[in-house]
Amino acid sequence: MGSQDWTTTEVGPFRITDAWFPPGAELPAHTHDRPCMGVTLEGSFDLSFPGQLFECAPTSVSTEPLGERHSNRIGNAGAHLLVLQPDPAASELLRPCQNLLSRVTHRRHAGVAGDAWRLTQELRATDSAAALSIEGLILQMLAAVTRLDESDPLGAGVPKWLERAHELIRARFRERLTIRHIAHEVGVHPVHLGRSFRARYRLPIGSYVRRLRLEWASRQLASSADSLARIARGAGFTDQSHFTRLFKTYAGVTPAQYRRLVARERDCDQTVD
């Protein structure tokens, strides 16, 4: 994939690559031997096709047909991507999304991005249900983008004020934001903001903020020794027990269990090395 840190896994007819690209990296023009759907999880990059340039920020979802020539330039903060490459031979399975995967598209979809985050966690799981869960998440992601593609075939651009609202939420999701405050910042009515945000990003603002907080907390659990209470407060939750309940729904395990699983996997990786 051209990144300095990446893992590729084959599950059924799908090739899944979890990739981290360093800041400022440039990938010269190239093609892939399978159609691709990429989801930007963190950071940003430019995706360039002849006559087309897309800015891929977090929650961006793009598709590329097999053999489509393109190049990439990674942003100043690097980029973390999840790339799905279905086997073109699986024509029966892919028939519903064949039109999507045969064209270049680019959109934002918070729901698909959330599924992509969960998929990266399933890639680290070792139980017998992991492959089933991974394939289910992939099909769910493809179905969501296909449905959006059919309802918005021209890929209408996101209004500038909605883009500003989205970026404000991503920058300040750990704060005590209100819909009224966000609407005031971007100059629209709160009701219009709520409806437009849900229509575009497929999640209510509150659910989107909660998901961002849980994603942030999962990264802190994996990378820091901070107490659960400190991480809960840092993520924007005032009640640790509430955080624990939400996290278990989100990840399938409690925060403490998640931290132990990540530590155990890290120890196993170091032993293998």
pTM listed for this prediction? 0.64
Residue 2 is predicted with a pLDDT of 45
Res 271: pLDDT: 56
Domain hosting 214: range is 205-273
**pLDDT, tens digit (0-9, with 9 covering 90-100), for 12-38:** 999 999 999 998 888 899 999 999 999
Residue 175 sits in the same domain as residue 224: no
Domain boundary among 184, 202, 220: 202
According to the model, what pLDDT value does residue 223 have?
Answer: 87
SS (H, E, C) the chain: CCCCEEEEEEECCEEEEEEEECCCCEEEEECCCCCEEEEEEEEEEEEEECCEEEEECCCEEEEECCCCCEEEEEEEEEEEEEEEEECCCCHHHHHHHHHHHCCCEEEECHHHHHHHHHHHHHCCCCCCCHHHHHHHHHHHHHHHHHHHHHHCCCCCCCCHHHHHHHHHHHHHCCCCCCHHHHHHHHCCCHHHHHHHHHHHHCCCHHHHHHHHHHHHHHHHHHHCCCCHHHHHHHHCCCCHHHHHHHHHHHHCCCHHHHHHHHHHHHHHHHHHC
Are 146 and 170 contained in the same domain? no
Is-contact 186 165, C-beta < 8 A?
yes
**What mean pLDDT comes out for the span 218-238?**
92
What pLDDT is recorded for position 250? 82
**In the prediction, which pLDDT does 45 show?**
92
Mean pLDDT of 191-218: 88
Same domain, 99 and 187: no
Q: How many C-alpha atoms does 126 have within 13 Å on its Cβ side?
A: 6
Percent of the chain predicted with pLDDT > 70: 93
| Average pLDDT along the chain | 87
Does residue 72 sit in the same domain as residue 119? yes
Amino acid 266: pLDDT: 67
Confidence band, pLDDT 50/70/90 cuts, at residue 150: confident
Q: How many independent structural domains does the chain possess?
A: 3
Q: Out of 85-89, 125-129, 141-145, 233-237, pick the least confident.
A: 125-129
Show the tokens assigned to 93.
């399975």
Torsion angle of alpha carbons 17, 21, 25, 29, nearest 10°? 10
Are residues 143 and 187 both part of a single domain? no
Residue 216 has pLDDT above 60, yes or no: yes
Between residues 190 and 203, the one the model is more confident about: 190
165 shares a domain with 146: no
CB 58 within 8 A of CB 44: yes
Same domain (yes/no): 75, 172: no
Same domain? For 191 and 253 the reply is no
pLDDT of residue 215: 87
pLDDT, residue 234, reads 95
Do 114 and 9 belong together in one domain?
yes
Based on the fold, state whether residues 108 and 191 are members of the same structural domain.
no
Q: 98: domain CATH number?
A: 2.60.120.10
pLDDT at residue number 51: 77
Among 122-126, 135-139, 172-176, 200-204, where is mean pLDDT lowest? Answer: 200-204
User: Domain boundary residue among 140, 168, 202?
Assistant: 202
The two tokens of residue 200 are 């575009």
The answer to whether the beta carbons of residues 79 and 40 sit under 8 Å apart is yes
Same domain, 198 and 215: no
Segment 263-271 mean pLDDT: 66
- C-beta of residue 81 within 8 angstroms of C-beta of residue 35: no
Q: What confidence tier does 1 reach under pLDDT thresholds 50, 70, 90?
A: very low
What is the pLDDT, as a whole number, of residue 155? 47
pLDDT at 229: 95
- The residue among 108, 131, 151 that closes a domain is 151
Res 253: pLDDT:
85
Domain CATH for 222: 1.10.10.60
Q: How far is the C-alpha of 268 from the C-alpha of 188, rounded, in Å?
A: 51
61-120 confidence digits (pLDDT tens) = 999 999 999 999 998 888 999 999 999 898 888 888 888 898 899 988 888 999 999 999
Does residue 254 sit in the same domain as residue 214? yes
